């Protein structure tokens, strides 16, 4: 059994999005009234495209290309701000993702923050999150982040093995990763997260443990363990790399055991948090989030929207050109309108896969129905030992957590699964990973 079918970080997936007509930001602005909303800024630039990357990003762009993109982001932000002025939103969370958000030059990074601060109201106690990579983590750049009030920095290290980094197509080496992580720790950010990948060809559990042993010596607040996926359009796909799912699972088991023994708790299949950190419940099924830039997703009620998904470099560059030439950013032309059933599936996926799990009482209050009655899979999983009831929560067991990327895809609707498969076929690959038949467990 291949436990690694699909990472359910959001639902529906971008490949299920389609053209929309007669939809505008003004028609959905009321979802952003008041406070507590999220703001996402996408910076799609990288030093190089990693071998496993299937994200919307472009590599090796010069300063002028970044300036042109930021010009477009500023136009978009001002147009959004004008439409939203009537509902006076305030944002409690700003996330800057990529690409590599620190790839631009120092003054361009300052401009990123200035655009957001001039166009939108950020709450005094807001969370400010940014991603980085070792080669872009310098003392000068970290000083800019401190000035901007960044509260969480996430660094993609992936491995402390130079051989494994080479296989993954990373541009940093282990020495630079150590220097960057030590430097990052010296700046006193409230939360530091580091990412590692397992399932790398040739990697054994002992190799992963060597990297994790070194990682915990820096005392990061969070460690994310990601299984290697080789998706359509990624460089490793062109190289014919196929991860060994059983070897990957052995690495997961060893890494999980080590982190639990070393003072971390497991909040999801991927996320390990230093014990003592308070687990704060966040209802992430109906959060409102507005995305800036080309490639980020906005969630406003039952409307999800973004620019059309692309992976290969030339396609991404074409999307960037379209974004930069767009006159009216408030017209929404590509996305997904969720039915009530799709909203239920999203709510279920977004809560069940993260501890403490699905709050059954809250689900009943929101939808007026019982989750276990509507989704027979939940009762099956309970009988099979993948979920258990803990007070008011339906929570993944240890076995269930390990199967998150197998169980989660079973909750995809037929409509969304069909749209995803159609996208794969249209773009040259029939993907059989959309699996929802629990009888195959």
Residue 390 belongs to a domain with what CATH number?
1.10.10
User: Cβ–Cβ contacts within 10 Å for residue 188, how many?
Assistant: 8
Tell me how many domains the chain contains.
2
* Residues 175 and 270 reside in one and the same domain: yes
* Residues 269 and 349 reside in one and the same domain: no
* Residues 246 and 345 reside in one and the same domain: no
* Containing structural domain, residue 389: 340-402
Residue 428 lies in a domain: no
Residue 298 lies in a domain: no
Quick check: 204 and 174 in contact, CB under 8 A?
A: no
Tokens representing residue 15 in the block: 């490949």
* Residues 34 and 181 reside in one and the same domain: yes
Q: What is the pLDDT of residues 389-426, one digit of tens each?
A: 999 999 999 999 999 999 999 999 999 999 999 998 98
* Residues 45 and 121 reside in one and the same domain: yes
How confident is the model at residue 278, as a pLDDT? Answer: 61
How confident is the model at residue 285, as a pLDDT? Answer: 56
The more confident residue out of 287 and 18 is: 18
Residue 436 binned pLDDT confidence (cut-offs 50, 70, 90): very low
Residue 333 lies in a domain: no
Q: Is 37 exposed, middle or buried (0-12, 13-18, 19+ CB in 10 A)?
A: buried
* Residues 181 and 265 reside in one and the same domain: yes
Q: What is the pLDDT of residues 48-88, one digit of tens each?
A: 999 999 889 999 999 999 999 999 999 999 999 999 999 99
Whether 437 has a pLDDT exceeding 50, the answer reads no
Q: What is the pLDDT of residues 113-131, one digit of tens each?
A: 999 999 999 999 999 999 9
Whether 101 has a pLDDT exceeding 60, the answer reads yes
CATH number at residue 213: 3.80.30.20
Query: Where does a domain end: 274, 306, 325?
Result: 274
Quick check: 305 and 297 in contact, CB under 8 A?
A: yes
Mean pLDDT for the chain overall: 94
* Residues 270 and 357 reside in one and the same domain: no
Residue 280 binned pLDDT confidence (cut-offs 50, 70, 90): low
Residue 318 lies in a domain: no
Residue 196 lies in a domain: yes
How confident is the model at residue 282, as a pLDDT? Answer: 55
Residue 372 lies in a domain: yes
Residue 414 lies in a domain: no
Query: In this structure, is the dihedral angle defined by the CA atoms of residues 336, 339, 341 and 345, taken in order, positive or negative?
Result: positive
Alpha-carbon distances of 6 from 9, 28, 95, 158, 371, rounded to whole Å: 9, 30, 23, 19, 23
Q: What is the pLDDT of residues 195-253, one digit of tens each?
A: 999 999 999 999 999 999 999 999 999 999 999 999 888 899 989 999 999 999 999 99
Residue 257 lies in a domain: yes
* Residues 133 and 264 reside in one and the same domain: yes
Query: Where does a domain end: 274, 291, 309?
Result: 274
Residue 279 binned pLDDT confidence (cut-offs 50, 70, 90): low
* Residues 248 and 374 reside in one and the same domain: no
Q: What is the pLDDT of residues 297-310, one digit of tens each?
A: 999 999 999 999 88
Query: Where does a domain end: 231, 252, 274?
Result: 274
């Amino acid at each position: 059994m291949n436990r690694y079918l699909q990472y359910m970080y959001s639902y529906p997936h971008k490949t299920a999005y389609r053209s929309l007509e007669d939809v505008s930001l003004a028609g959905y602005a009321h979802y952003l009234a008041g406070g507590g909303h999220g703001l996402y800024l996408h910076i799609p630039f990288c030093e190089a495209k990693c071998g496993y990357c299937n994200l919307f990003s472009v590599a090796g762009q010069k300063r002028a290309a970044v300036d042109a993109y930021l010009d477009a982001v500023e136009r978009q932000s001002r147009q959004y701000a004008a439409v939203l002025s009537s509902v006076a939103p305030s944002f409690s969370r700003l996330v800057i993702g990529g690409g590599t958000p620190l790839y631009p030059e120092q003054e361009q990074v300052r401009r990123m923050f200035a655009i957001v601060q001039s166009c939108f109201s950020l709450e005094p106690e807001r969370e400010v999150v940014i991603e980085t990579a070792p080669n872009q983590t310098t003392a000068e750049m970290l000083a800019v982040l401190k000035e901007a009030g960044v509260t969480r920095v996430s660094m993609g290290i992936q491995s402390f093995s130079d051989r494994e980094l080479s296989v993954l197509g990373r541009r940093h080496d282990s020495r630079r990763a150590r220097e960057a992580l030590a430097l990052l720790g010296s700046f006193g950010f409230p939360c530091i997260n580091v990412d590692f990948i397992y399932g790398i060809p040739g990697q054994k559990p002992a190799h992963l443990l060597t990297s994790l042993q070194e990682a915990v010596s820096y005392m990061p607040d969070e460690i994310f363990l990601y299984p290697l996926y080789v998706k359509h359009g990624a460089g490793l796909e062109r190289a014919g790399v196929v991860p060994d799912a059983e070897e990957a699972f052995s690495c997961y088991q060893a890494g999980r055991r080590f982190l639990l023994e070393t003072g971390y708790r497991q909040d999801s299949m991927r996320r390990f948090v230093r014990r003592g950190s308070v687990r704060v419940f966040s209802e992430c099924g109906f959060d409102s989030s507005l995305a800036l830039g080309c490639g980020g997703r906005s969630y406003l009620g039952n409307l999800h929207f973004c620019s059309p998904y692309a992976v290969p470099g030339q396609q991404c560059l074409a999307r960037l050109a379209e974004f930069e030439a767009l006159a009216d950013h408030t017209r929404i032309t590509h996305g997904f309108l969720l039915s009530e059933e799709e909203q239920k599936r999203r709510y279920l996926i977004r809560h069940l896969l993260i501890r403490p799990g699905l709050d059954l009482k809250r689900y009943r209050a929101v939808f007026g129905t019982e989750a276990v009655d509507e989704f027979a899979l939940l009762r099956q999983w309970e009988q099979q030992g993948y979920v258990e009831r803990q007070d008011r929560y339906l929570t993944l067991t240890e076995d269930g957590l390990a199967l998150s990327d197998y169980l989660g895809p079973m909750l995809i609707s037929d409509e969304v699964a069909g749209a995803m498969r159609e996208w794969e076929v249209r773009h040259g690959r029939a993907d059989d990973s959309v699996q929802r038949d629990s009888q195959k467990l």
